Structure 1
């Protein structure tokens, strides 16, 4: 069975079911694009779909926007329902060196590529909690940067409350997922059960 083939179970409950899409010629078939290795899979992370792996993905989108609105339809439509991992994991944990929150994705069926993208967007659209602001406020530079970013964002979405996405400043470009076990172990809240499918969201400014 091709682990990156069509998802026979469909997307997880709660996710939009796409209509029919014409067969896709291949992720790497676009003009000017070429896989970093002959089979197109990630050599660093062979268990992770190449569209998500930091060493193979050609998809760089702005996490301030929904992935479906920022990724070209010719790429988004045929890959959205594919499994995120070759192991068909139904629980994936995301952390990042760019933000302090943990994102747990739990499903009754294998987590899809779209579920990864959607979970990142949803988590970063949450408002910053009072307790979180209590830690932020003691760092003047960070505090002022977040407020400045939030003010600019509010001009477009009309929400004046601080959001987690404001914490990122200009580092809002998704650059794939990494596996950094030392960081994941350190990042794990004491008393929390570790999880094998823990991935680090790589973000940058361009």
Structure 2
């Protein structure tokens, strides 16, 4: 092969190796956000969904060079002129990036709308993780079980007394990404409605 062909073979191989490491969980944070044992904040999912292109910029960069390197090399080996081969490679890289963005947007949409749809938690039980001030006076956090695993979520209460860490509560409503919860007692009516009223 010519030096130009070797260069594009190296680009494609290096980008593919980095992509493989990312796929195995070693290229970014080494963690699995969907693991049932992982605690994460619902707000972080929204942040990633709204700014996912910036969050995945390294992956997009790698995807572009996978397409560019291998397609340019294939074109060169097929006898296509270097300039036209590079144009084919750039087009393939752009397609790889767009496909990656589409797949990630679809995945995050499923995660947000299915696994972590907060109003599906109404009527379920949770445990207080960070103390919640009484009478809606402050926001704390609870740990709740969802299809995505056990997650940490912001919560408020209309109960007059402060809810302490470890107390068992019922989710009685949801408003703007915040759960409304109430201490579980025998004489308290069942779920009060979407906004905890």
TM bin, normalised by shorter chain, reads under 0.3
Which protein has the bigger strand share?
2
Which protein has the bigger helix share?
2
**Higher RCO, 1 vs 2 (CA within 8 Å, ≥6 residues apart):** 1
**The structure with more radius of gyration:** 2
What TM-score, normalized by structure 1, do the two folds share? 0.27
